[in-house]
Amino acid sequence: MRWLLVPAVVACLIFPSAPDAAADDPASELRKVEERQQEVEAMLAEAKDDLNRVYWQREQVKVYLQRAENEMYLAQSKHALLEEQRKGVQASWSQLDASARESEKRLESRKGQFYNRLRAIQERGRVSYVGVLLGADSYSDFLSRMEMLKTIVQHDVALMTVIRTDKQKLEAERAVAAAEAARLADLQAQVSEQAAVAAGKQAEFKQQNAALLEQEQALAAEVAKWELEWERLGEEIYEIQLRMKRQAGRFAPMEPLRGRPPITDDFGLGTDPIRGGSRNHGGTDFGVSRGTPVYAIEDGVVIARRYDSVYGNLLIVDHGGGIASWYAHLDGFNVAMGDTVVQGQQIGRVGSTGYSTGAHLHLEIRINNVKQDPMSFFSR
């Protein structure tokens, strides 16, 4: 948690000493403020790095969280599907069970009849044998009755065989259904386990995400604070430089934009941003957003305020001694033709008018109408 230590450190950097000693010596005051700005810049870079790191960490956690949510959803869907299948198998098991019981009952009742008949044959056989011995006249009648009973018994046996086979088949099917239900229940248990694991992961990643979000917000606030402080120091530097230049009383221009914005195209040979190919760039381009204030680089008089197909909205300030500064592609003007301007005074706003691919300020410095490298006049 390196970033947590930052506020205390920086509080010391921002207010390192009382400003009174530096008041009469702008050069040393400038140096101090510049040093402070560099320190703030380092803090800002560090906070940005940390923010970036936490941001990507959280992006990763979000991916994991999504994955865990998907896993859980999948497990729940599987569980529901298995439940449906299991219920189906259970229902067919119940049906098979009922049929098997029914079969069993039929078999039992058939057995009962069968044994009754056997008993009847036995009894009749014994009685009739005595009867046959006593009077042979009914012997043939006795035999035919016995034959008939035997036929019925044979029929009973055949029927019982059919019922028994049927019952065995039902029992086998019932066993298969029971095994299938058990298998599905097993699968369901596995899937439940998977869902529980996924839910655990989900909770963990949610917690991580919340913690990282908190860090991210704190770091974003840090970054915003350093940026604000960096800008404030930039303004301070500009003010000190302004005072120094005024005291010096000679042509000593200051940059036309505050906060040292990036140079997107240097003076001299380079590539044409629109047509391609090489071209000789007559000034310096600063990449800043539309509407950014543009300041006079030195005291002077506005000698041109017009639209040009190449330069777009153009301001030219004459600084005397054959020196002039050109401000091109402006979105709008803050001064009128003939106005006297002082160094650091806002004279226009950055735009993208004329021959331009996007918002930027094209600055030219000319001495006796010869284009100079503007950056050679500034200390960067």
Which of residues 1 and 370 has its CB atom nearest to Zn ion in the complex?
A: 370
Stretch that binds Zn ion, among 138-146, 186-194, 355-363, 366-374 (CB under 5 A): 355-363
Give me the least distance between CB of 270 and Zn ion, in Å please: 9
Stretch that binds Zn ion, among 138-146, 173-181, 281-289, 296-304 (CB under 5 A): 281-289
Q: Strand 361-367 to strand 284-286: parallel, antiparallel, or no bridges (unpaired)? A: antiparallel
CA dist 315 and 333 (Å) reads 8
Mark 47-66 with x for binding to Zn ion (rule: CB under 5 A) and - for no binding: --------------------
Near Zn ion in 93-132, by CB under 5 A:
none
Q: Is residue 30 a contact partner of residue 213, using CB atoms and an 8 Å limit?
A: no
The span from the first CA to the last CA of the chain, in angstroms, equals 34
Give me the least distance between CB of 356 and Zn ion, in Å please: 8
Q: 358 in helix, strand or coil?
A: coil
Taking CB under 5 A as the rule, does residue 285 contact Zn ion?
A: yes
Stretch that binds Zn ion, among 185-193, 285-293, 332-340, 367-375 (CB under 5 A): 285-293
Q: Return the closest-CA partner of residue 309 out of 356, 359, 364, 355.
A: 355
Which of residues 110 and 371 has its CB atom nearest to Zn ion in the complex?
A: 371
Q: Is residue 309 a contact partner of residue 260, using CB atoms and an 8 Å limit?
A: no
Q: State the DSSP string of 154-173.
A: HHHHHHHHHHHHHHHHHHHH
Residue tagged 């009469």 (tokens): 24
Stretch that binds Zn ion, among 95-103, 107-115, 309-317, 358-366 (CB under 5 A): 358-366
Cα 355 from chain centre: 40
Upper half-sphere CA count for residue 46 (Cβ side, 13 Å): 15
Which of residues 349 and 362 has its CB atom nearest to Zn ion in the complex?
A: 362
Phi–psi pair at 347, nearest 5 degrees: -115, -15
Stretch that binds Zn ion, among 77-85, 171-179, 254-262, 354-362 (CB under 5 A): 354-362
Which of residues 99 and 372 has its CB atom nearest to Zn ion in the complex?
A: 372
The 3-class SS string of 294-340 reads EECCCCEEEEEEEEECCCEEEEEEEEECCEEEEEEEECEECCCCCCE
Which of residues 183 and 279 has its CB atom nearest to Zn ion in the complex?
A: 279
Q: Is residue 240 a contact partner of residue 19, using CB atoms and an 8 Å limit?
A: no
Number of residues interacting with Zn ion: please give it, by CB under 5 A.
2
Among 241, 362, 363, 378, binds Zn ion (CB under 5 A): 362
Stretch that binds Zn ion, among 19-27, 205-213, 351-359, 360-368 (CB under 5 A): 360-368
Largest alpha-carbon pair distance within the chain?
Answer: 169
Residue tagged 């190449």 (tokens): 310
Taking CB under 5 A as the rule, does residue 258 contact Zn ion?
A: no
Q: Return the closest-CA partner of residue 251 out of 315, 284, 297, 301.
A: 297
- Please give the residue whose beta carbon sits closest to Zn ion in the complex: 362
Which of residues 229 and 364 has its CB atom nearest to Zn ion in the complex?
A: 364
Which of residues 89 and 294 has its CB atom nearest to Zn ion in the complex?
A: 294
Give me the least distance between CB of 361 and Zn ion, in Å please: 8
Give me the least distance between CB of 294 and Zn ion, in Å please: 14
Stretch that binds Zn ion, among 92-100, 127-135, 239-247, 359-367 (CB under 5 A): 359-367
Give me the least distance between CB of 222 and Zn ion, in Å please: 36
Q: Is residue 316 a contact partner of residue 303, using CB atoms and an 8 Å limit?
A: yes
CA dist 322 and 329 (Å) reads 23
Q: Return the closest-CA partner of residue 124 out of 145, 138, 139.
A: 145
Give me the least distance between CB of 280 and Zn ion, in Å please: 11
Which of residues 205 and 286 has its CB atom nearest to Zn ion in the complex?
A: 286
Which of residues 199 and 263 has its CB atom nearest to Zn ion in the complex?
A: 263
Taking CB under 5 A as the rule, does residue 329 contact Zn ion?
A: no
Binding site for Zn ion (CB under 5 A): 285, 362
